[in-house]
Amino acid sequence: MELKQVGEFGLIDLLKDNTIFDSSSVVVGIGDDAAVTLPTPRQLQLLTADMLVEGVHFALETTAPWQLGYKAVAVNLSDIAAMGGTPKHAVISIAVPKHTQLDFLTNLYDGMKEICREFGVNIIGGDTVSSPQGLVINVTVAGEVEPTNLVRRSGAQIGDIVVVTGPIGNSAAGFDLLTKGNWEDYDFAWPLVTAHLTPRPQVKAGRVLAEYGATSMDDISDGLASEANEIASASGIGLIIRAADIPLSPEMIQAAGLFEKQAIDYALYGGEDFQLLFTIKPDQYRLLANQDIGVQLTAIGEVVEKAAGVVLIDRNGNRTALEPRGYNHFR
Ligand code: ADP
Ligand code: MG
């Protein structure tokens, strides 16, 4: 059945079931002019939005609607995680071509609802309009954080250690497999393709890192090089990153071989890993490294004086400026 047979209101009726996963903080969900939520006293509110445009951020040839829905929410939860917070509510707006199949939209929402259920996030509203061409999805997420746990990009200090929460570059390698190859033919492809299509936001880790005193934090959406430069410029410091210490998965290294690329380039310039990049004092890091926080922490560098810039030390010990050339929409 096509969307135009049920119309806007019929569609909203179909999508609005199973959207509240933590009813304690929702007074009014989908169905009124605005949603009404009950904030936790003395917590700061976090708000973030991400828009995905067909042909720019995704192609329907390489992603299933369920995966697309999952990812559209995941990228927002990752931004809340990078502030040290807990995601609470989502508002979802879609612009839909009128020949879209209803099944497509219910699958899209099933993916959204799945990740919302996993993370206890409520879908409390949105907007539905028609699009003359291509699907557009905008997700806005509200979250909360204890004032003492808020972690910004701007807090890195000289002497801090630079750490990541997991392997970097899997998503970019997964993207190449999806778009250039018959990825089903390669036994190493699955974790990479999964990392690209259904990334897991590091919400729990983000909270723990905040508790342990992370001084700055960013989620890796545009590539490690780009995020490192973001932290450096926001904090007014320099960074030294050791290429040899950046965690690369064996599967990603195999994919790099297949495409005759340098594995390290996937990590530095690929993006969409949604791992967390953070800085922390060395003694706090030692405490943290002894805990099992459900992710593999790896120290990859140090915070240095601003004049040093953002520097990459490659495997041969050569130092070069680490340029922020990740994905940039207007270049
Ligand atoms: P209004 O015209 O007052 O803005 P709508 O008729 O557009 O309200 O929407 C009705 C209800 O459905 C509202 O609660 C709105 O937030 C919700 N809603 C509309 N579109 C979506 C969507 N794509 N996803 C989730 N909720 C939606
Ligand atoms: Mg209204």
Q: Domain with 106 in it: what CATH number?
A: 3.30.1330.10
Q: Is the pLDDT of residue 330 over 90?
A: no
- The mean pLDDT of 185-205, rounded to a whole number, is 97
Q: Is the pLDDT of residue 185 over 70?
A: yes
Residues 315 and 168 in one domain: yes
> From the CA of 34, how far away is ligand 2's center (Å)?
7
- The mean pLDDT of 253-267, rounded to a whole number, is 96
Which helix (H) or strand (E) segment is 50 a member of? strand 44-53
Q: Is the pLDDT of residue 8 over 90?
A: no
Q: Is the pLDDT of residue 167 over 90?
A: yes
Residues 124 and 231 in one domain: no
Structure tokens at 322: 């680490």
Ligand number with the minimum distance to the CA of 28 = 1
pLDDT value, residue 89? 98
Residues 126 and 229 in one domain: no
Which helix (H) or strand (E) segment is 21 a member of? none
Report helix angle 250-258 to 189-197, nearest 10: 100
pLDDT value, residue 153? 98
- The mean pLDDT of 22-37, rounded to a whole number, is 97
Q: In what order do the strands lie in the sheet with 44-53?
A: 44-53, 136-145, 86-96, 122-130
Structure tokens at 60: 């329907």
Residue found under tokens 């929460």: 165
64 part of a folded domain: yes
Rounded Cα–Cα distance for residues 175 and 116 (Å)? 24
Instruction: Output the CA–CA distances (angstroms, integers) from residue 60 to 140, 175, 263, in the order listed.
Output: 22, 13, 27
**Domain stop point among 148, 172, 198:** 148
Instruction: Output the CA–CA distances (angstroms, integers) from residue 14 to 18, 34, 89, 155, 250, in the order listed.
Output: 10, 19, 19, 45, 43
Q: Which domain holds residue 54?
A: 3-148
**Domain stop point among 133, 148, 163:** 148
- The mean pLDDT of 29-38, rounded to a whole number, is 97
Residues 77 and 206 in one domain: no
Alpha helices in 151-188 (DSSP H): 170-180
Question: Which ligand 1 atom is at minimum distance from the Cα of 123?
Answer: 25
> From the CA of 14, how far away is ligand 1's center (Å)?
12
* CA atoms in the 13 A half-sphere facing the CB of 23: 1
- The mean pLDDT of 117-136, rounded to a whole number, is 97
- The mean pLDDT of 238-245, rounded to a whole number, is 98
CB of 60 closer than 8 Å to CB of 197: no
Residues 10 and 127 in one domain: yes
CB of 122 closer than 8 Å to CB of 22: yes
Max Cα-Cα span within the chain: 64
Protein residue closest via CA to atom 5 of ligand 1: 127
Residues 158 and 290 in one domain: yes
Protein residue closest via CA to atom 22 of ligand 1: 126
- The mean pLDDT of 129-137, rounded to a whole number, is 96
* Residues 139-165 pLDDT 10s: 999 999 999 999 999 999 999 999 999
Residues 140 and 234 in one domain: no
* Residues 78-113 pLDDT 10s: 999 999 999 999 999 999 998 999 999 999 999 999
- The mean pLDDT of 190-209, rounded to a whole number, is 98
Residues 112 and 195 in one domain: no
> From the CA of 141, how far away is ligand 2's center (Å)?
20
Residues 9 and 95 in one domain: yes
Ligand number with the minimum distance to the CA of 35 = 1
> From the CA of 31, how far away is ligand 2's center (Å)?
9
Residues 173 and 280 in one domain: yes
Residues 197 and 137 in one domain: no
Question: Which ligand 1 atom is at minimum distance from the Cα of 31?
Answer: 14
Number of domains, the chain: 2
> From the CA of 55, how far away is ligand 1's center (Å)?
25
pLDDT value, residue 134? 97
Q: In what order do the strands lie in the sheet with 216-219?
A: 216-219, 276-280, 161-164, 298-304, 238-242, 310-313, 319-321
- Counting ligand 1 atoms within 8 A of each CB, the residue from 11, 12, 123 with the most, and so the one to mutate, is 12
* Residues 44-85 pLDDT 10s: 999 999 999 999 999 999 999 999 999 999 999 999 999 999
Ligand number with the minimum distance to the CA of 19 = 1
Q: Is the pLDDT of residue 329 over 60?
A: no
**CA torsion angle for 158, 161, 167, 172 (degrees, to 10)?**
0
pLDDT value, residue 327? 56
Residues 119 and 179 in one domain: no
* Beta-bridge mates of residue 219: 276
Rounded Cα–Cα distance for residues 242 and 220 (Å)? 17
Question: Which ligand 1 atom is at minimum distance from the Cα of 19?
Answer: 25
- The mean pLDDT of 197-212, rounded to a whole number, is 98
**Domain stop point among 116, 148, 180:** 148
The proportion of the chain whose per-residue pLDDT surpasses 90, expressed as a percent, equals 92
Structure tokens at 77: 């939860």
Rounded Cα–Cα distance for residues 240 and 99 (Å)? 51
CB count within 10 Å of CB 259 equals: 12
CA 279, distance to chain mean position in Å, is 18
157 part of a folded domain: yes
